A and B are shown apart, each in its own frame.
Chain A
């Protein structure tokens, strides 16, 4: 109750992990933690879906539907039926 943040789109396939630890470096919420042979998914619910881990995983072991999480953008999309705009286009830098 009163917690909408109980799931997210982060998916991790340990079988593909080569233990380069880029994900543990780039994640600002320590979602991944170093392990002996592969990294561990240590704090799944702390994920904010920024997509940095997926972007920097050389083997594609991590997938996540990333987005900025801007409520204005989602209200806008809900009202106009258009796609959610992302932050700061050239004409309208929002944040």
Chain B
């Protein structure tokens, strides 16, 4: 080929659709399980939906597939628009905004790299509301001339929002409904799977089926039951909620331990029953407390306060419970 001309072309606009394919669903499934953790990325830059004109709106999102796909699949089929994808290292809008990667600096930078100002004749960007933690609207306006408009929290509310560009109070608030809580536990389950398999197995061989089942129940209570039952467990602190839930889960094990060998003294029976009540609740509470990181309503000040209030109680309960179990095991082995 002769006469090839090398030019510095303006960066490509990547076409996309509002349809989710089977491969997208597969990607979402793996992301929900926390598999290939940093691999759920979209190419940062300018994407086009339909055939956008210089008058078309510009939406901004993170380069995490779940974020990008939530946005594009919420938009109507006839919609012509641009989607400006920021490089958030494959992290969702909320977490990336907290860290600052979904932030003023990256937004300003991405506007310049993509030459957005030459592609549209208006100066307005629609950002997800939860991106506001990292983006300063007045700074963006000062640095690029683009006005930042914060859309609703959830992409699903966009079609209604776009009719008036006004969000209802409901659209502005985060929820934490059952479905939102349910999608969270698979990630934790996969992350803790090695412990979930190994610890009950070891306890099964060392102590027996009751100990093995107890360990599995304790962990599953913290990982699966806790997110589901969160609003229904009394008290406000996650640690106290976890202790209550762990205590309830431990009850049948305490009863079973009490009835384990009825030929021993009542003192031994009670000691045996107390052990699971000491060991199990603090583990469930610890796992529950970690769930504060997945919510959108616990403040850092509050969580720090929780950690300082409950860590010692949880450690003390667990340590004395384990000590009791060790003594009981030694007594059993030595045939006391």
Contacts and interface: CB of A to CB of B under 8 A. Distances in A.
Interface size class of A (residues with CB under 8 A): 35 or more
Contacts of A15: none
Nearest to A1: B235
Interface centre among A3, A51, A93 (most CB of B within 10 A): A93
B302 to A, nearest CB: 4
Would you call the interface of chain B mostly helix, strand, loop, or mixed? Answer: helix
Interface residues of B, number: 56
A4 B95 contact: no
B122 interface: no
B317 to A, nearest CB: 16
A74 interface: yes
Contacts of A9: 299, 301
Contacts of B61: none
B129 A69 contact: no
A47 B297 CA distance: 7
A72 B174 CA distance: 22
B124 interface: no
A30 B172 contact: yes
Interface in B158-205: 167, 169, 172-174
A93 B99 CA distance: 11
Given A65-B300, A71-B303, A93-B89, A4 B138 contact: no
A9 B299 CA distance: 9
A71 B132 contact: no
Given A5-B302, A95-B294, A88 B138 contact: no
A38 interface: no
Contact of A28 (B101, B153, B291): B153
Contacts of A58: 138
B265 interface: no
B293 A46 contact: no
B235 A68 contact: no
A52 B302 CA distance: 18
A4 B174 contact: no
Q: Which 5 A-B pairs have the closest CB atoms?
A: A70-B293, A67-B300, A26-B132, A5-B302, A4-B305
Interface of A: 2-5, 7-9, 22, 25-30, 46-52, 55-56, 58, 65-75, 78, 86-90, 93-95
Given A3-B236, A46-B297, 16 more contacts: A4-B237, A4-B309, A5-B302, A26-B150, A28-B153, A52-B97, A52-B132, A56-B135, A66-B98, A71-B303, A86-B100, A87-B99, A88-B91, A89-B89, A93-B89, A95-B293
